[in-house]
Amino acid sequence: MPSKKIDSYDKRAKDIKAKKMIEKEGFELEPRCMPPKDKDSERRQQVAVTNRGQLVPCCWMDQKEVLSHPEMIKMLKVSNVADYDTIDEILLTDEWQEFAKNLEQRNLDKIMPVCIIHCAKRKGRDRQKIETYTLGELTREVKA
Ligand code: SF4
């Protein structure tokens, strides 16, 4: 099990990495949990459920250091799946709406480092993967 010292170092490293990425010229955020803005958008991410039964915006959030981020702690307080009849009820809470609004409006100072790191728009050779699917005459590229 990692020591507390290593955990806090990792968290600081992520904060620094995210800050450096934002400062880079041409930085753009493309939240993969939001509806795509253009047809060149990358693979979509869906909501996920932790092994403690809490809804999180995507599986990348299910990491110890992310779950202990102050913004995430606020969201987790209203994210126990067992407390609701539908997932929509969680998505409509003030906490989740605020999270979505900050992503939609690209309020970078209010967005968690994990989102900056995972959902920076990749361009050109920085793309990780392009899959091509062909069905009859139809060909479609999916960028992941
Ligand atoms: S990392 Fe953040 S912005 Fe990206 S898909 Fe997950 S919740 Fe959305």
List Cβ neighbours of 134 (8 Å cut-off, separation of 6 or more): 140
The per-residue pLDDT for range 42-52, each reduced to its tens digit, is 667 899 999 99
Testing ligand 1's pocket by substitution, the residue of 43, 50, 60 carrying the most ligand atoms inside 8 A of its CB is 60
Phi-psi region of 136 (alpha: psi -120 to 50; beta: other; left: phi over 0): left
Rounded CA separation 139/44 (Å): 19
Instruction: Give the pLDDT confidence score for residue 38 in this predicted structure.
Output: 67
pTM above 0.85, yes or no: no
The residue range of the domain holding 35 is 4-143
The per-residue pLDDT for range 30-71, each reduced to its tens digit, is 999 988 776 656 667 899 999 999 999 999 999 998 999 999
Instruction: Give the pLDDT confidence score for residue 25 in this predicted structure.
Output: 86
Domain count, the chain: 1
Instruction: Give the pLDDT confidence score for residue 143 in this predicted structure.
Output: 65
Distance (Å) from CA 35 to ligand 1 centroid: 12
Instruction: Give the pLDDT confidence score for residue 35 in this predicted structure.
Output: 81
Residue nearest to atom 6 of ligand 1 (CA): 58
Average pLDDT of the segment spanning 2-23 = 71
Distance (Å) from CA 41 to ligand 1 centroid: 14
Nearest one of 115, 103, 101 to 66, comparing CA atoms: 115
Testing ligand 1's pocket by substitution, the residue of 28, 44, 118, 122 carrying the most ligand atoms inside 8 A of its CB is 118
The per-residue pLDDT for range 80-123, each reduced to its tens digit, is 999 999 999 999 999 999 999 999 999 999 999 999 999 998 77
Ligand 1 is surrounded, with C-beta below 6 A, by: 31-33, 45, 57-58, 60-61, 103, 114-115, 118-119
